[in-house]
Amino acid sequence: MAGPWRSTVSRVMGAMKTQTTQPKSFSRGMQTVTLIPGDGIGPEISTAVMKIFEAAKAPIQWEEKNVTAIKGPGGKWIIPPEAKESMDKNKIGLKGPLKTPIAAGHPSMNLLLRKTFDLYANVRPCMSIEGYKTPYTDVDLVTIRENTEGEYSGIEHTIVDGVVQSIKLITEDASRKIAEYAFEYAKNNQRASVTAVHKANIMRMSDGLFLRKCRQVAENYRDIKFTEMYLDTVCLNMVQDPTQFDVLVMPNLYGDILSDLCAGLIGGLGVTPSGNIGANNVAIFESVHGTAPDIAGLDLANPTALLLSAVMMLRHMGMHDYSKKIETACFNTIRDKKVLTGDLGGKSKCSEFTAEICQRVRDMD
């Protein structure tokens, strides 16, 4: 039993010896970004995003890479070396949905990417989209989820026949890193408060450690309000009045549940952007919906999620004017309701929706 968790611990400890993430300043020249189109509707929506970026004349050069897992030396599943090299060089990536074939032998692709680049923070800004009506209006919050440990360590054992134990791992370093990222994000994006979500009344030591680290980091950011709230209270209040929340930071499982809950508030995974921040300033932005194999290749897909993730990417790179332009064009198109894809309640094709956004972007110049 010591084996698996000790290797996890040493891997986690090893990854700590990196510098803290700083907002990078990018030159005004062309920036290369690794693009992973993905499977199913992935290629169509990636093409849509590339077209819109071209229309906006954003200084982005795309480097398309495939990340189907291959067996590396030593028998371990790895992503292709060219893809890894490209990401390490460019530091920024945009990813479409990836499928995980059952019984392919290799672990989930998302998990592999996460492990390869040590993507420790998953960030999902959830903002109500005007024009796409849901019962919840005025949602404007960000969920920041620790992505490497917690309940998803994958360490499970059958102790006796009929009794299974799953281990939830919380470490000081990972908690500190995610807390620091959360406060940095709040500072860089002018957010007023950070709320730590926990269940320390029941899981005293583990969530207690997470909370302590959050409190310690909060000391260094006096101008940002820090509060703590139980997971159940957050859930209860979230469905009654989501406007009271700003930035939420939490361990893995709670983050998984809450980020999907918040995505549901604004309209589902088809319109929710997501970004993963890793060590060494690597950041991969992705759409979190599935590959939708039933509509793949039929020009019916909705590229909004990938587009908004790409906008998040631009913001991360400091290109605020381009990001604002594209985001406004996208939201205006949805608000006008004239050209909408099937899932948004319209009848248009993906290419028509994309063309409409491109036209709006061009008109804005």
Window contacting other proteins (CB under 8 A); options: 45-53, 153-161, 178-186, 357-365: 153-161
- 235 contributes a contact to other proteins by CB under 8 A: yes
Helix/strand/coil for 48? helix
- In whole angstroms, the minimum distance from the beta carbon of 95 to other proteins comes to 19
Rounded Cα distance between 235 and 262, Å, is 10
Give 341's DSSP letter: -
Q: Say if CB 150 and CB 251 are below 8 A apart.
A: yes
Q: Say if CB 329 and CB 307 are below 8 A apart.
A: no
- In whole angstroms, the minimum distance from the beta carbon of 294 to other proteins comes to 17
The residue (of 231 and 334) whose beta carbon lies closer to other proteins is: 231
Rounded Cα distance between 336 and 185, Å, is 32
Cα dihedral 97→269→325→130 (10° resolution) = 160
The one-letter code for the residue type at 206 is S
- In whole angstroms, the minimum distance from the beta carbon of 7 to other proteins comes to 12
Rounded Cα distance between 215 and 240, Å, is 27
Single residue of 157, 335, 337, 338 touching other proteins by CB under 8 A: 157
- In whole angstroms, the minimum distance from the beta carbon of 201 to other proteins comes to 4
End-to-end CA distance of the chain: 62
Single residue of 15, 167, 224, 296 touching other proteins by CB under 8 A: 167
Give 310's DSSP letter: H
- In whole angstroms, the minimum distance from the beta carbon of 61 to other proteins comes to 35
For the chain, give the longest Cα–Cα distance: 68
The one-letter code for the residue type at 322 is Y
Window contacting other proteins (CB under 8 A); options: 89-97, 165-173, 188-196, 353-361: 165-173
Rounded Cα distance between 39 and 227, Å, is 40
Single residue of 117, 120, 152, 226 touching other proteins by CB under 8 A: 152
Q: What angle do CA 151, 156, 159 make, to 5 degrees?
A: 135
The residue (of 84 and 168) whose beta carbon lies closer to other proteins is: 168
The residue (of 257 and 279) whose beta carbon lies closer to other proteins is: 257
Helix/strand/coil for 215? helix
Residues between 188 and 227 that touch other proteins (CB under 8 A):
199-209, 211
Residues between 251 and 270 that touch other proteins (CB under 8 A):
253, 256-261, 263-265, 267-269
- In whole angstroms, the minimum distance from the beta carbon of 239 to other proteins comes to 4
The residue (of 103 and 205) whose beta carbon lies closer to other proteins is: 205
The half-sphere exposure of 218 on its side-chain side, counting CA atoms within 13 A, is: 17
- 134 contributes a contact to other proteins by CB under 8 A: yes
- In whole angstroms, the minimum distance from the beta carbon of 207 to other proteins comes to 8
CB atoms within 10 A of CB 130: 11
- 232 contributes a contact to other proteins by CB under 8 A: yes
- In whole angstroms, the minimum distance from the beta carbon of 150 to other proteins comes to 9
Residues between 269 and 328 that touch other proteins (CB under 8 A):
269
Q: Helices 2-15 and 172-188: crossing angle, nearest 10°? A: 40
Window contacting other proteins (CB under 8 A); options: 69-77, 131-139, 182-190, 321-329: 131-139
- In whole angstroms, the minimum distance from the beta carbon of 274 to other proteins comes to 13
Interface contacts to other proteins, rule CB under 8 A: 5, 9, 134-136, 151-152, 154, 156-158, 161-173, 199-209, 211, 231-233, 235-240, 253, 256-261, 263-265, 267-269
